[in-house]
Amino acid sequence: MQPEKTLGKTVSGATEYLTGPEIASALSNALNKTAQQHPDSIPSTEVAYVDTTLESYGALWGTVGLDTGSIFKFMNDYPSITENWGSAGGSESILTPAELGLKEELRSVKQRFENLNWIAALA
């Protein structure tokens, strides 16, 4: 804990910024790695990314979908802002993991997907 740095601030926990297709690829690779290691437990799987509109996302998920979809839309429309959160991006109230010396402890999406117990998760 670093209250001298974090008190009254927001800490961004993002380790990386990936596109939808990049996330789908990482998930597909992790699932297929598990399928190769445990062929009787889960089948080989191909994950696809399907681009959608905010309206259709909202129709599927309701108000929560509209809120979440709006966040995704903002991140997509303004990548330079979302990739530069923190003091370096001009906001003194938002800290990044690197500013707290935490970058090395955090895991990438690929690492998190590969370390999940997919057999239990998909059971």
Per-residue pLDDT tens digits for 21-54? 999 999 999 999 988 888 888 887 889 899 889 9
The answer, yes or no, to whether residue 16 has pLDDT greater than 90, is no
The answer, yes or no, to whether residue 59 has pLDDT greater than 90, is yes
SS3 13: coil
Number of Cβ atoms within 10 Å of the Cβ of 78: 10
* pLDDT band at residue 96 using 50, 70 and 90 as cut-offs: confident
* pLDDT band at residue 97 using 50, 70 and 90 as cut-offs: confident
- Backbone conformation region of residue 113, classed left if phi is above 0, alpha if psi is from -120 to 50, else beta: alpha
pLDDT attached to residue 113:
93
